[in-house]
Homo-oligomer: A and B are copies of this chain.
Amino acid sequence: MNNKKIGVFDSGVGGLTVALEVLNKLPNEEVVYFGDTARNPYGVRTKEEITKFSRQIIKFLLTKDVKAVVIACNTATVAALDSVQKEFDIPIFGVVGPGAESAVNSTANKKVGIIATEATVRSKCYDKYIKNIDSEVQTFSMACPLLVSIAEECLYDSSISYEAVKYYTEDLVKENIDTLVLGCTHFPLHRKNIEKVLGEGVKIVDPAVRTVEILKNYLKENNLESGKKEKLNHEFYVSGKTEKFAKICNSVLGGEYTVDKIDIDKF
């Protein structure tokens, strides 16, 4: 047993969809979340910058005495996971490998679509991971930058979101994909509209699901699971403004959480 918390971080609000998966699947665990809202979007940053940011954030999370860290951001997973796993002495999990695994398990016709940020698409990380598992799977990617901005504006239930999802998935649908990977943690926020646009013929893969399964197994195998608590105390921190983040946080997680601002450059 280990009652320490689980650190989760992202460039902004997107990783809240991963935090929600942790809350749902590991109901005894507490989360310390960091959203780097002052420095996002990470998509325009270099690998070196993102690695530096990730290092600072993990150092901050360690001051909160976490027992494991989930990089709940595809861009940061691609840029920094390997480096920080070597540098730090706690388990660190990324979302890309688990997402690729789920996609391969899901597809029947071996045609997988991936929607992500420009940086993730450019890195071809999902394509490489997927082909490593099954070289016969064909991948089709689409960068959807507006789905990030729309989510950050808390408009994922709007007709703006619906029209944007329709626009971005049009070419993927033409390729006859039967599986779509949500390769950016913001995108599960648009899930209702994604399902409405794509219909039942396309299975949606949210990499957070398999990521949290892997985390759960790890905690179990290493005797790190938390004991039952009377009241869970999740913590939320950002590097930028707290208001908009708090609004989306409470909407996604369903609760009234306090959000504190941190000077991340000190770490």
The total of chain A residues at the interface (CB under 8 A) is 14
A155 within 8 A of B: yes
Chain A residues touching B, majority SS: helix
Interface residues in chain A, defined as those with a beta carbon under 8 Å from any beta carbon in chain B = 145-146, 149-150, 153, 155, 158-160, 162-164, 166-167
CA distance A174 to B244 in the complex (A): 25
- Contacts A146-B153, A160-B164 given; 11 further ones with Cβ under 8 A? A145-B153, A146-B149, A146-B155, A146-B160, A149-B149, A155-B167, A158-B163, A158-B167, A159-B163, A159-B166, A163-B163
CA distance A201 to B167 in the complex (A): 31
Q: How many protomers of this protein does the assembly include?
A: 2
Q: Are B146 and A150 in contact, CB atoms less than 8 angstroms apart?
A: yes
Q: Are B149 and A145 in contact, CB atoms less than 8 angstroms apart?
A: yes
Point out which of A146, A160, A162 has the most chain B C-beta atoms below 10 A from its C-beta: A160
CA distance A26 to B158 in the complex (A): 42
The residues of B that contact A163 with a CB separation of less than 8 Å are: 158-160, 162-163
